[in-house]
Structure 1
C-alpha cells in the first residue's frame, strides 16, 4: 500500500518576531489522529493507515541544526514515499529542499504564503524565516518558484522577485479556479499565514486579506503533477484560538497527502 511519510521539525530559532512554531508538530498530529474528524481526504483516500511517521527531529544534541534537518529529511525520503514535514518556522524549508533537490533534478516549488521570504538577510540573519527562499533560489534548489497569496510586497522584495524570476500571484489577483501551468514534480511549501487570520489565527504574523481554507484546498487539489514533498509551517500554538489553526493545519496535511497519493500512485 502506498504511504506518505511524516517528519516533525520543531525548530523556530530563526523566527523574527515570536517563538512558538517549534511546539506545533505534536499538536498537528493530535488533530490528524483525532476521532472527532474524518480520516478521509476529499480526493477519496482513507489516511488512517497511510502515514509513515518518522517522529520529530531531536535538536537537543550539539551540531548544526541545518545539517541535521537535511540529513533527517534525506533519511525519511529514503523510505521511498512522498514526505510532509511539519514545522517549525519557514526557515526550515531551505535545508529540507537541499535534501529534496538531490532526488529531483526537475522541481517546481509552489509556495503558498502571505510573505515571499526573499530578503537577503533580516536582522543580519541569512537563515531568517524571512530569507529562506532567497537562499533556496541562490542554490538553485528548484527550476521554478511560484508564490501564491502574497500581500506584503515592498520595493526591496519586488527587486528580489525580479532577480530570481519568481512567478507571483498576489492575494489581490487570486481567482477561484486558478490553474497553474506545471510540468515538473512539485514541492508544496504551505505557510499557514497565507490564510486570512479569520481561518488561521494561530500564526506569528497575522496578515489580513488572505486566502480562505477552501481556496487553498482547491489550489492544492488542482495540481496535476506528482507532489513529491511538502512542508506545513508557521503554526504558532501560542497564538491559536480554540485550536482552530491546528485543525486547519491537519486538514491541509490530509489534502496534501491525498493529492500525493493521487498524483504519485494509482492509490
Structure 2
C-alpha cells in the first residue's frame, strides 16, 4: 500500500491546521506505521531549568516547514515508509517511577505494532524506559548518546531516576550492549575526575565537542561506525549537545558545543547502520529565541526519521 504523506502545502498553507510532526497523518488515520514520531511531555526528572514538557508541542510546530525530500540522504522518507505522528504518551508528572512504567509500556506497544520510534521529549529521564522497551524487542542495543553531559551519574538528591542517571541505570539493567557505547559532544565542568573514570568503567567511549572540531565530521563518523558495527543501534540526542548559540532553549546549556550542521552531518553519516529507534530530548521552549532550538530539534528528528525510513525499505 502506498504510504500516506504530509498535507500538500500548495493546497493547505503550512501555518494552517493542527500541528502533527511534518504535517504527517495521525496513527489512527492509517492502517500501519513503519516509523512513528511520538511525544513524551515529561520533565519531572530535571535538575535545573524545567520546561521540556512543552518540547513535543514546540517541535511539532517547528516541523511545519519540513519538506518531503531529503537531499542530504537522497531519500523521500514519506514515500519509502509509512511515517505517522503517534501523539503523546501521557506520563504522570507527579510520580517518576510510574511515569517510567507508562512510557516503557506504551513505547513497547508501538514497537510491537511494527513501528520504529522517534521519540520527542521531555527530559532525558525518558531514555531509560525507551531503552528497556528496545531491549525487549532487540536484545541489548548499541547506543550513541549526543549530549553535553554524561548522564551516567548515580543519583540526584537521592533519586535514582532523573535526567542525569538514565544510562547508568540502563547499563546496570543490562539493556545496553556495553561493547558498543559512545557519548558525542561532551563538554563542560564535571564534579570530579571520578565522573570520567566511572563512565569509562560502564563501557562508554567519549567524543568531545572539541574532538568534533579538531578531527572533523568524517573522522568522527568513521570511529563511531567502527565502534557500533552492525549491532542494533539506538540514538539518543539531548539538544544541549548543540552550543547555546544553536540551541538556547534547553534546561542545562553549556558553552562550547557543536553546531547544528555538525550534528546533522554526523547523523547522516550513520546511513546504513542498524538503527532501530531514536529520541530527541530536552527542548525547553520557554528559554528559546525565534524558535532556534525547536527548529534544530525538528531537523534532527527529520534526519532520524529519514534514516529509519531508509532501513525499513532496505
Which TM class, normalised by the smaller chain length? over 0.9
Give the alignment of 1:42-81 within 5 angstroms: 42-47=72-77, 50-59=82-91, 64-81=98-115
Task: State the distance in 1 between where 2:66 and 2:137 align.
Answer: 34
Structure 1 stretch 10-19 or stretch 220-229: which is displaced more? 220-229
Q: How many positions carry a matched residue from both structures?
A: 264
Residue by residue over 1:183-214, the C-alpha shift from the partner in whole angstroms, topping out at 9 and shown as x without a partner, is: 21210000000011111111111111111111
Does 1 or 2 have the higher relative contact order (CA < 8 Å, sep 6+)?
1
TM-score (norm 1): 0.93
Residue 143 of structure 2 aligns to a residue whose secondary structure is strand
Structure 1 stretch 155-164 or stretch 243-252: which is displaced more? 155-164
Task: State the distance in 1 between where 2:288 and 2:120 align.
Answer: 17
Partner of 2:304: 256
Shift, 1:102, TM fit? 0.7
**4+ aligned runs moved over 6 Å, structure 1:** none
**Structure 1, unpaired ranges of 5+:** none
Residue 176 of structure 2 aligns to a residue whose secondary structure is coil
Give the alignment of 1:142-157 within 5 angstroms: 142-143=176-177, 144-152=180-188, 153=190, 154-157=192-195
Task: State the distance in 2 between where 1:195 and 1:264 align.
Answer: 29
Q: Is the 8 A contact 1:7 1:76 kept in 2?
A: no
Give the alignment of 1:118-197 within 5 angstroms: 118-143=152-177, 144-152=180-188, 153=190, 154-174=192-212, 175-176=215-216, 177=218, 178=220, 179=222, 180=224, 181=226, 182-183=228-229, 184-197=231-244
Residue 26 of structure 1 aligns to a residue whose secondary structure is helix
TM-score (norm 2): 0.79
Task: State the distance in 2 between where 1:255 and 1:173 align.
Answer: 22
Larger Rg: 2
Residue by residue over 1:221-256, the C-alpha shift from the partner in whole angstroms, topping out at 9 and shown as x without a partner, is: 111312111010000001100111111000001111
Does 1:222 pair with 2:269? yes
Give the alignment of 1:4-19 within 5 angstroms: 4-19=35-50
Structure 1 stretch 164-173 or stretch 188-197: which is displaced more? 164-173
Structure 1 stretch 173-182 or stretch 40-49: which is displaced more? 40-49
Does 1:39 pair with 2:73? no
Structure 1 stretch 76-85 or stretch 189-198: which is displaced more? 76-85
Task: State the distance in 2 between where 1:45 and 1:83 align.
Answer: 18
Shift, 1:148, TM fit? 0.6
Structure 1 stretch 57-66 or stretch 218-227: which is displaced more? 57-66
Q: Is the 8 A contact 2:186 2:241 kept in 1?
A: yes
Structural RMSD (CA): 1.9
Q: Is the 8 A contact 2:123 2:282 kept in 1?
A: yes
Q: Is the 8 A contact 1:40 1:254 kept in 2?
A: no
Task: State the distance in 2 between where 1:209 and 1:193 align.
Answer: 11
Residue by residue over 1:123-176, the C-alpha shift from the partner in whole angstroms, topping out at 9 and shown as x without a partner, is: 221111111111011112111321011013441311221220211111222222
